[in-house]
Structure 1
Amino acid sequence: MTKDDCIKKPSGAAGGWGALKSVGRQLMGTGSPVSRAKTLLSLNQADGFDCPGCAWGDPEHGSSFEFCENGVKAVAWEATKARVTPEFFAEHSVTELQGWTDYDLEHAGRLTTPIRYNPETDHYEEVSWQDAFDGIAAALNALENPNQAEFYTSGRASNEAAFLYQLFVRLYGTNNFPDCSNMCHEASGVALTQAIGVGKGTVLLDDFEKCDLIYCVGQNPGTNHPRMLASLREAVERGAKVCVFNTLKEKGLTKFADPQKKLEMLTGGAEPTSTDYYRPRLGGDMAVFRGMSKVVLEAEDRAMTEGRPPILDHDFIREHTSGFEGWCDMVRATSWEIIEEQSGLSRDEITRAAEMYLKAERVITTWAMGVTQHLHSVQTIREIASFMFLKGNIGREGAGLCPVRGHSNVQGDRTVGINEKAPAAFLDALEKELGVTLPREPGHNVTHAIGAMLEGTVKAFVALGGNFARAVPDSSLVADAFRNLDLTVNIATKLNHGHLMPGKASYVLPCLGRTEIDRNSKGERQMITVEDSMSMVHGSSGINLPASKSLKSEIGIIAGMAKATLGSDVVNWDEMAEDYDKIRDMIARVLPSFGDFNTQVRKPRGFWLRNSASHREWKTTTGLANFGTDDLRDRTEWQEVKGENGKFVLQTFRSHDQYNTTIYGMDDRYRGVYGIRNVVFINPKDMEKNGLSDGDMVDLIGCFDDGRHRACKGFRVVPYDTPYGCLAGYYPEMNELVPHQTVGDQSYTPTSKSVIVKIEPHQSA
């Protein structure tokens, strides 16, 4: 493949015919035309299944066509006709499969039967469900203590599966719950809990229809949560401002052609999704909001001096907040020089962005992993919250804080107990419900789990979905640690690289997908639930026939493992797996906020989990909303290198044909990359300074000084509109460059958006 074949002019606006063509290609690989249409029209409908693609909210009114390109990709990926049977594993050894790409493994098809690794033959072999459960139970019960096992959860697991999983694990005796949220929005949960008393956003989807201004920070909705583009576009159309802070210029944040608007598709039109666009340096978002706060405070000072009405909401600040004066002193003392250098924006640019806030009555600030995967992410989100407090933009209509999460139920999993440091009240209620004493010692998050595996103190790893080994930093190092475990268990719909690092005993247990009908022994259709980024809880029921008659639901698999490991004296696992209403009844008894769970979730569009901060009730240590207490960092990673001596700050992110570690296709049409993934995006001025040309092959070398050589070799240079000194590239390929030791302060989230690397000419092996 030549450079011209793989690097082309990026597509125009997000959405449009490109999205429809992509949808068509995806659906051609799934079932009959009738089944394809039926599946698609059941997506996000009251009597259908919830989209497995992302956690963006559904409209209250219930669109009849509420899905997006990525949702279709997720459905098509799951509903593929391809199957991975025992014959497939007889033909391909684990060693051979380790050489396949992520894309090729997942596109081999759906897993059909439970399998167990045979180290003598280096092949996976079919095993009965009961033998699998008994083997897993024997290995878990043979450990010296329960803390030698890690229990990972993917955010695609349902509320019911996640609750039953944590019930099993806590009764087993540990709080080791490394979770996908540890790698993405953990900083949001930590910061918001400190600031407003709840680790979730405070807005509903309806609030986007009523705000005057949206700040969209460190996120790329066009690829990660495309349905958000409609909300941004509609806001612009009705005259609201949408101000973007994003390191790269992304298509979805400039214009969007709505595939659901017929006239627009016929005329090739597209409408803006933003009114203002700024590109801060990597790690510069805290400085941006510190600078905007300075502008607001200076405007307040002028208003007071000139006898004009105040700009700040003094009633809100006085009645609902703590720490205002100390935070103001810190803001006023911060120099514009350090703000401009860290942010990469000029004082004039920051002032223009802040003037929108001065004029707006209702403001929403949204963010994603461009904010959460830095050393100072918690402090950055605290700064965002403090800025929003200035005009009381929380706890009222059309205003609030909105972390936009990725996985469709990553927020719900945490709500129902997937938490290595669960609140005491939750554990108290669980103990009362079960009549037993549960472990209270905090368990492992992802970072701690990696450390324990590398030290050899962990002997078993059980994964409820996901692709942990490829999602984490230092991926090859972690892969070696996996192979030294006594037990690995993966509950999954498809094969991935995480399944090809078997321990002494290794099982892959195939489960039903979100799109598939789940029936109990009586033939009754079962329903699961999820919670989106707006704290709305939805029901979800599959409509497709299972990919194999041998598949079990996630709940059935968890119940089978739990029964074999613990017995049924405390929990009747069979009863729970037979009727998910019983799981929901227990959730409601342990978590009263769910109310009459089984009744409420059967209402169209589900129900809202009450958010105390949305009602200006602050469950913080002070009983008030807390202003931030942290100054800007002395130096960001960009300040350490500034693009000198071939060193840069790298961020890893998704391509357009990707969802987390799942690779749907090899194209990234919004960035003009086709058929390849080993690319590095770089500012043209950086290319010129370092003697690079478009299409050159380079090696990226990690600069973390721990004696380990980290390198990604043979990556193609792609010029892109990104700040000087900042690079970008795809994960999981570039996770090898992310040191597992560098994690966010207080959040322990990998710093995947601020990795110091150097570029060298490619050295072929």
Structure 2
Amino acid sequence: MSIADQTNNVVATAIPTSHGEVWLLPAKSDDDLKLKPVKQKATGVSAVLNSFRYAWGEAGVVRGTLPLLQLNQKLGFDCPGCAWPDSDAKRPTFDFCENGAKAVAHEADSRRLTAEFFRAHSVSELSTHTDFWLEQQGRLTQPMVLRENATHYEPISWSDAYALIAKELNSLESADRAAFYTSGKATNEAAFSYQLFARQFGTNNLPDCSNMCHESSGRALSKMIGIGKGTVKLDDFEKAELVFVVGQNPGTNHPRQLAALQQAKRNGAKIIAVNPLPEAGLMGFMNPQEALGMLGFATELTDLFLQVKINGDIPLFKGIMKQMLEWEEADPGSVIDWDFVNEHAAGLDDLCADLRSADWDTLVTRSGVTRESMRQAADWVRASERIILCWCLGVTQHTNGTQNVCEMLNLLLLRGAIGKPGAGPCCVRGHSNVQGDRTMGVWEQPKDALLDRLQAVFEFDPPRKHGFDSQRAAIALHQGELDVFVSLGGNYLMALPDTRYAAEGLARTRLNVRIGTKLNRADLVAGGQSLILPCLGRSEQDVRPASDGTPANKQFTSTENSMGVIQSSQGKLPAASAELRNEVAIVCEMAAATLGDRANNPWQDWANDYDLIRDGIAAVIDGCENYNEKVRQPGGFYLPNAARERQFNTSTGKANFTINPIPPQTIQPGQFAMTTVRSHDQFNTTIYGNHDRYRGILNARRVVMMNGEDMNERGLRSRDPVAVTSHHDGATRTLQDFQVVEYPIPRQCVAMYFPEANPLIPMNATDASSNCPSFKHTVVTIEKC
């Protein structure tokens, strides 16, 4: 079935596989929807209590509490949740947020998944349960294999698992018939080893989770400022005069960012929030590190809330800049930072022509923001020299995601708000080491400089042909072009759009391999054979035999946060099972079994001593010289960032203004723009519970949030059952058994939870530049059941 063959297709919830019928969503929802008022402030004592309640419930009092004392500490371990940075100075004893505590408790879980569990449950029966139920069964404890035509997983030894992987990989007619996916939680040592393994094997098929989230950011930043990362440091928030927070919900997804916003506000900065949904964390913040915050007193963060329509960012920022240009032309030198523009920027004339030609009525109508509000925002921009612009997936996951980011960066360049204290772009990464994975070389489109270094250091000819990203790998799977799919963590199936299409592809492989800590739905949609390789969590001790035969020693790993700091991470908890291995060791031992004498680096020695891997990193990756020495410094070290010094490594040698057209109008009367959102009880695809506490939606995830006036026009009331149908290129996909909820969202806009809404999102609705899927803008219709 091609991507376009799904016209009038009611999205089935199960697919046939050689291991039985596998359900992609439970056939019927067990939601018991309860509604409460939308909250106007976030964190405080309730967040603290929920953190410890979840930690103790999952792991017990001792195992649940001890890791929290080590979380994000300079001699502790890096949070396996988001990539928000840690302070360079002294850190508080409890330096974590609610979702960080849940992430740690999730892997410190005291429950165990043993061979007995898999004997009792077939993959077909397991698939009838929710994703939440699957992950609640506990930690994986030993390697498991699902053999050809089998209905149940069974135990397999590590050596036999590696032999199976080596046999399947080495029997491929081409190395390009394998793909190696990476989750953003993989550490630097694992990521570097993984990309080297794949390239020594002979392929650049290295899809990773960044392809589905911030790929648009990297393309825009590289094009405009010469580096695919933000430029701000954490202490820049203390110096900022104005902070934009765009397409982001930090109260749920990056709660520690709220403390930085609070500090900015207390130092006199104004904050502008841009989002289709009002989010509690941006309205008021009860800092749990302070007594008043624990007592319920909140700092009001947002000074101006610009409630854009879904995908209204370009017309909004174009309107703000058009107003700035009108003031500049009326009073030359009053708005544009001409010293910066003349010395460091290119393309301003074209941008000004584009802004002059923009129609005010169109900008207002398409953004959903009044001209008066745009004028207010422009006035604050004009009055500020130190501006930080933060954004996340609400900006990037559109068919014009790269252009969204570019248009926002134009505003910073007009004011010279980059490369100086208190100013710059702040690309807020989601997963803990997704930025580090790319730094370490996980990319399907590697630059020649990286390949040349790998060739010189490791004495092999790396492949030069670009490989598959995440979306193209899904299409290749469906078209039978991939036989082996290896996943370093994550939940590739549920992270993708068009879930049924993705599942059908995974079911066509000869072998699926996933390295992880807990069971998820990707393990149940198997090809001919499937392997689950259980690994240690970040919070657990990693003890490996030393390569020189001396007594065993404790290993550590490293990660990179959103602001380019690389730091060490070392867990202290006893492992959940004696059979668990670090993901680093698993990757190295897979490589040793597969490559044998073809590799010049000693893969088994690398598995036993991660210092050897870090020596390889130091020899290959820019900015990582003396890696073993620098990463052992408390707090780690900053990677070089030329744009932070106003050195722009672009095609012009300067920061480049860009022209970004207003996206075409795709929403017709009777249709809605649907965006996916995360609930407060989840992180990416991991579901911790069924409550979205701040939005007041409890015990339910099959929900459609909808404007009250739109509901009235259609005779709908909260809790009514509805069917949702998406429309793209003449194809339709329908999900049933959802409930509609009245919510303060703009008209002709609706929101649904990720990943439950993913079956509605077309695989081929992607950004033209980054190929990032459009999770945040899908055309849908809604009918009462």
TM class by smaller structure: over 0.9
Note the C-alpha offset of 1:5: 5.7
How far does the alpha carbon of each residue in 1:421-466 deviate from its partner, in whole angstroms, 9 at most, with x for none? Answer: 1111111111000111110001000121111111111111100000
Answer yes or no: is the 8 Å Cα contact 1:700–1:759 preserved in 2. yes
Note the C-alpha offset of 1:541: 0.1
- The corresponding residue for 1:760 is 783
**Partner amino acid for 1:328?**
C
- The corresponding residue for 1:477 is 501
RMSD: 1.4
**Partner amino acid for 1:283?**
N
- The corresponding residue for 1:156 is 185
- The corresponding residue for 1:199 is 228
- The corresponding residue for 1:497 is 521
- The corresponding residue for 2:749 is 726
Answer yes or no: is the 8 Å Cα contact 2:286–2:292 preserved in 1. no
**Partner amino acid for 1:724?**
R
1:703 alignment partner, SS class: strand
Note the C-alpha offset of 1:733: 0.6
> Is it true that 1:626 corresponds to 2:656 in the alignment?
yes
- From 320, 342, 348, the equivalent of 1:324 is 348
1:34–1:108: structure 2 CA closer, same or farther, 3 Å change rule? Answer: closer
Note the C-alpha offset of 1:3: 9.8
Distance 1:147 1:514 in 2: 32
How far does the alpha carbon of each residue in 1:233-279 deviate from its partner, in whole angstroms, 9 at most, with x for none? Answer: 2222222100000110110110011122123323x211112111111
Distance 1:326 1:9 in 2: 47
- The corresponding residue for 1:685 is 709
Gaps of 5+ in 2: 1-28, 546-550
Under a length normalisation based on structure 1, what TM-score does the superposition of the two structures give? 0.96
**Partner amino acid for 1:612?**
A
**Partner amino acid for 1:422?**
P
Answer yes or no: is the 8 Å Cα contact 1:110–1:494 preserved in 2. yes
Gaps of 5+ in 1: none
- The corresponding residue for 2:197 is 168
- The corresponding residue for 1:98 is 127
- The corresponding residue for 1:744 is 767
Note the C-alpha offset of 1:10: 3.2
- From 583, 600, 607, the equivalent of 2:613 is 583
> Is it true that 1:564 corresponds to 2:593 in the alignment?
yes
How far does the alpha carbon of each residue in 1:507-537 deviate from its partner, in whole angstroms, 9 at most, with x for none? Answer: 0100001110011113311111111110011
Task: Say how many residue pairs are matched.
Answer: 750
Distance 2:588 2:485 in 1: 17
Distance 2:149 2:496 in 1: 29
1:760 alignment partner, SS class: strand
**Partner amino acid for 2:97?**
C
2:153 alignment partner, SS class: strand
Deviates further, 240-249 or 624-633: 624-633
- The corresponding residue for 2:623 is 593
Note the C-alpha offset of 1:632: 2.2
- The corresponding residue for 1:181 is 210
How far does the alpha carbon of each residue in 1:491-516 deviate from its partner, in whole angstroms, 9 at most, with x for none? Answer: 01000000001111210100001110
Under a length normalisation based on structure 2, what TM-score does the superposition of the two structures give? 0.94
Answer yes or no: is the 8 Å Cα contact 2:476–2:482 preserved in 1. yes
**Partner amino acid for 2:410?**
S
Answer yes or no: is the 8 Å Cα contact 1:158–1:529 preserved in 2. yes
Deviates further, 24-33 or 166-175: 24-33
Answer yes or no: is the 8 Å Cα contact 1:187–1:749 preserved in 2. yes
Note the C-alpha offset of 1:220: 0.2
Distance 2:557 2:56 in 1: 28
- The corresponding residue for 1:225 is 254
Residue identity over aligned pairs, in percent, reads 44
Deviates further, 662-671 or 257-266: 257-266
Distance 1:3 1:459 in 2: 38
1:210–1:680: structure 2 CA closer, same or farther, 3 Å change rule? Answer: same
**Partner amino acid for 2:632?**
R
Distance 1:412 1:8 in 2: 39
> Is it true that 1:301 corresponds to 2:325 in the alignment?
no
- The corresponding residue for 1:422 is 446
Answer yes or no: is the 8 Å Cα contact 1:57–1:534 preserved in 2. yes
**Partner amino acid for 2:613?**
I
5 Å-filtered alignment, 1:482-561, equals 482-521=506-545, 522-561=551-590
Answer yes or no: is the 8 Å Cα contact 2:162–2:589 preserved in 1. yes
Answer yes or no: is the 8 Å Cα contact 1:283–1:636 preserved in 2. no
Answer yes or no: is the 8 Å Cα contact 2:220–2:405 preserved in 1. yes
How far does the alpha carbon of each residue in 1:649-676 deviate from its partner, in whole angstroms, 9 at most, with x for none? Answer: 1001100000000000110000001111
Note the C-alpha offset of 1:29: 2.1
Answer yes or no: is the 8 Å Cα contact 2:31–2:701 preserved in 1. no
5 Å-filtered alignment, 1:261-410, equals 261-266=290-295, 268-304=296-332, 310-410=334-434
How far does the alpha carbon of each residue in 1:562-588 deviate from its partner, in whole angstroms, 9 at most, with x for none? Answer: 111111441210111111111111111
Answer yes or no: is the 8 Å Cα contact 1:700–1:760 preserved in 2. yes
Note the C-alpha offset of 1:112: 0.3
**Partner amino acid for 2:252?**
T
> Is it true that 1:86 corresponds to 2:110 in the alignment?
no
- The corresponding residue for 2:23 is none
- The corresponding residue for 1:657 is 681
1:490 alignment partner, SS class: strand
Distance 2:399 2:498 in 1: 17
Note the C-alpha offset of 1:36: 3.0
- The corresponding residue for 2:4 is none
- From 170, 175, 184, the equivalent of 1:141 is 170
Deviates further, 32-41 or 310-319: 32-41
